[in-house]
Structure 1
């Protein structure tokens, strides 16, 4: 469902989505690309992701955004900061 209906909509706007976890009707996702950190992410979750999922899977109660910083990004930041010393 995410792959076929939601992901193409986000990719069209240079974004992407990754499913993290599904438990007890709660879906956790990461927004990637241009969608990551976008001020409209809340609306994307509500209007595109939640509505899209509920059309096919009515048991979905909520969609939560996971804002984890990747280990790769942390390592890159450490390298940059260490060079400045």
Structure 2
């Protein structure tokens, strides 16, 4: 299974919750240094708690399933302080 496939499989564990609220997440890039860049789409793109969803839901799912990944960043969240926090 490729790194991209592993990340997508991890995202499938949180997607039902995102979709239930009218949102989703799309992988834009996985960098050589282990950073997954995602785009929050639908309701998740404008929700005020998206930074929390990113860190406690999306990033935790990916990190627990794909140890090669170091962090997850959203390219479209306006609160840069939250989107670049490393856990």
Query: Deviation digits for residues 10-54 of structure 1, max 9, x if unmatched?
Result: 001111111100012100001111111211111011001110001
Aligned to 2:67: 58
Unaligned stretches of 5+ in structure 2?
1-8, 78-87
Aligned to 2:40: 31
Larger Rg: 1
Query: Which 4+ stretches in 1 moved above 6 angstroms?
Result: none
Bigger shift: residues 31-40 or 2-11: 2-11
SS at the partner of 1:60?
A: coil
CA distance in 2, matches of 1:4, 1:48: 11
1:20 aligns with 2:28: yes
Q: CA RMSD in A?
A: 1.6
CA distance in 2, matches of 1:47, 1:41: 10
TM-score if structure 2 supplies the norm length?
0.70
Aligned to 2:81: none
TM-score if structure 1 supplies the norm length?
0.71
Aligned to 1:83: none
